[in-house]
């Protein structure tokens, strides 16, 4: 007697055991399941048992999928934001795709064979998601042009028919755009920018920068900064030509190799302000950098503009060479300091007295001078005032009226000419040339004589 099948009931008509099968073998299970018209599934014993219709991948064809296969072309969809009422601008790709696929072909879906009972249930049950979307679209389109009064040219014009494409910027939303006015520099006030002087707007910018030394402020006033920086570089270019005429050892370099940036290094400073409230540049045999003594020009508001020259904070080796030369030949530096032009324009018009000249020069470098004699030297040395120094610089401040006057370049040239002997002396000691070193070697014998 054949056994009953154990486990889940199989669907379809039960198969009887073949006559040739052995008496103790089990019948073959049929794992295929299909839906009957009424949804009843026959068990292995032949009894009709009511079961709910099982949903398999073959029966998931909803009305949405069927409709999309039969009536809607499977192409890219234009955004609803750009579908204006009565718009005649349609994408050519969509027209070609719709004409290529027939509207009544069920084979385009891939689910056409199994869409019988499941689609009927969907029709009798709740409405599909596409029906809900289409009603919303109908409501949106029914509002007409009144609800889009301010967006006509932005979205419905022929020139903007491609705005729906990817990568085209449309603002914050339908019909909403934000326009940020680009900051503009100050007006010139009727005063033209010329290369041989500083414009009043440049001084105003530096004054504002000192009061608002902040990155956000400078970002908002970037046009003023760029205009002022261009004005400063124009002056530096003119000064390069003048300085090269006074000191032939200084080459005429472009401004980018001479000007200092306004950004401060705040890593080891107690002052957190990020910018220098002045413009500055230096001229030497190697530009603003290098081991040579240089000429220095600084433009700053409130009478803090400055013209100077010399060696600022030299390293240990050149500083040792300077101190040794001062001890061995003190008259060389004293002669430079008592030069008439130096005394008149740099040292405050002092008398022709070596002691007064040395004292005036030392007073200009007292900021970081040593309190005692440097190592290896005596406090009783006659040149102790010069040996204590760690800077060997000299300079003169420029009033703001001079900075803004047409005679600025002439005034700076006079001061540079007065500082030329000091720069020449310092370079001869720190970076001696071959002929200078050979002449220095013969000096001791001449002194002994």
Q: 300-359: per-residue pLDDT in tens?
A: 999 999 999 999 999 999 999 999 999 999 999 999 999 999 999 999 999 999 999 999
Got the DSSP string for 256-294?
GGTBPPSB---TT-S----B-SSEEEEESTTTTSSSS-E
Residue 279 backbone dihedrals phi, psi, to 5 degrees: -110, 140
Edge-to-edge strand order for the sheet containing 392-398? 279-283, 294-299, 305-311, 392-398
Residue by residue, pLDDT tens for the chain (449 residues) are 455 444 454 444 444 444 444 444 455 555 555 444 444 444 444 444 444 444 445 455 556 666 655 554 544 555 554 555 544 444 444 444 444 444 444 444 444 444 444 444 444 444 444 444 455 555 565 555 444 444 444 444 444 555 555 665 655 666 676 666 778 888 988 999 999 999 999 999 999 999 999 999 999 999 999 999 999 999 999 999 999 999 999 999 999 999 999 999 989 888 899 999 999 999 999 999 999 999 999 999 999 999 999 999 999 999 999 999 999 999 999 999 999 999 999 999 999 999 999 999 999 999 999 999 999 999 999 999 999 999 999 999 999 999 999 999 999 999 999 999 999 999 999 988 744 444 443 343 334 33
Instruction: Judge residue 392's burial from the number of C-beta atoms within 10 Å of its C-beta, 0-12 exposed, 13-18 middle, 19 or more buried.
Output: buried
Backbone φ/ψ region at 256: left (φ over 0), alpha (ψ -120 to 50), beta: alpha
CA–CA separation, 403 and 409 (whole Å): 9
Per the CB < 8 A criterion, the answer to whether 198 and 404 are in contact is yes
Query: Would you give the distance in Å from CA 181 to the centre of its chain?
Result: 20
Separation in Å, CA 327 to CA 183, 311, 352, 417? 59, 18, 22, 27
Tokens of 20: 């040739």
Provide the residue ranges of all domains of the chain, joining segments of one domain with +: 58-160
Extract long-range pairs of 343-348: CB within 8 Å, 24+ residues apart.
344/418, 345/396, 345/414, 345/415, 345/418, 346/394, 346/395, 346/396, 346/415, 346/418, 346/419, 347/394
């Amino acid at each position: 007697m054949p056994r009953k099948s154990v486990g889940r009931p199989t669907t379809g008509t039960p198969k009887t055991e073949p006559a040739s099968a052995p008496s103790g073998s089990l019948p073959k299970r049929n794992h295929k399941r299909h839906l009957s018209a009424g949804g009843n599934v026959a068990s292995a014993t032949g009894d009709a048992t009511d079961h709910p219709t099982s949903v398999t991948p073959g029966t998931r064809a909803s009305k949405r999928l069927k409709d999309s296969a039969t009536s809607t072309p499977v192409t890219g969809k234009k955004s609803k934001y750009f579908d204006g009422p009565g718009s005649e601008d349609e994408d050519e790709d969509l027209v070609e795709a719709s004409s290529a696929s027939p509207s009544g072909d069920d084979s385009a879906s891939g689910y056409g064979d199994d869409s019988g009972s499941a689609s009927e249930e969907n029709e009798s049950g709740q409405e599909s998601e596409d029906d809900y979307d289409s009603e919303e679209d109908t409501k949106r389109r029914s509002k007409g042009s009144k609800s889009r009064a301010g967006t006509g040219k932005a979205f419905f014009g022929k020139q903007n028919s491609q705005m729906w494409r990817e990568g085209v910027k449309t603002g914050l939303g339908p019909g909403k755009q934000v326009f940020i006015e680009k900051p503009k520099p100050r007006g010139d006030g009727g005063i033209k920018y010329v290369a041989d002087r500083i414009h009043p707007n440049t001084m105003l910018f530096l004054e504002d920068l000192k009061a608002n030394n902040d990155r956000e402020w400078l970002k908002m006033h970037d046009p003023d900064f760029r205009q002022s920086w261009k004005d400063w570089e124009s002056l530096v270019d003119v000064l390069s030509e003048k300085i090269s005429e006074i000191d032939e050892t200084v080459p005429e370099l472009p401004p980018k190799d001479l000007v200092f940036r306004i950004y401060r290094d705040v890593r080891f400073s107690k002052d957190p302000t990020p910018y220098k409230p002045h413009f500055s540049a230096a001229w030497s045999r190697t530009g603003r950098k290098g081991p040579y003594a240089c000429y220095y020009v600084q433009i700053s508001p409130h009478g803090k503009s400055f013209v100077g020259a010399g060696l600022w904070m030299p390293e240990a080796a050149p500083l040792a060479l300077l101190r040794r030369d001062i001890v061995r030949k003190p008259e060389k530096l004293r002669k430079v300091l008592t030069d008439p032009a130096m005394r008149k324009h740099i040292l405050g018009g002092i008398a022709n007295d070596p002691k007064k000249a040395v004292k005036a020069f030392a007073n200009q470098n007292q900021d970081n001078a040593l309190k005692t004699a440097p190592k290896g030297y005596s406090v009783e040395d006659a040149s102790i005032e010069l040996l204590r120094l760690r800077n060997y610089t000299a300079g003169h401040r420029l009033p703001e009226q001079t900075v803004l006057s047409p005679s600025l370049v002439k005034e700076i040239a006079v001061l540079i000419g007065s500082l030329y002997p000091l720069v020449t002396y310092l370079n001869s000691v720190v970076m001696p040339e071959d002929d200078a070193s050979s002449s220095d070697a013969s000096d001791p014998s001449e002194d002994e004589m």
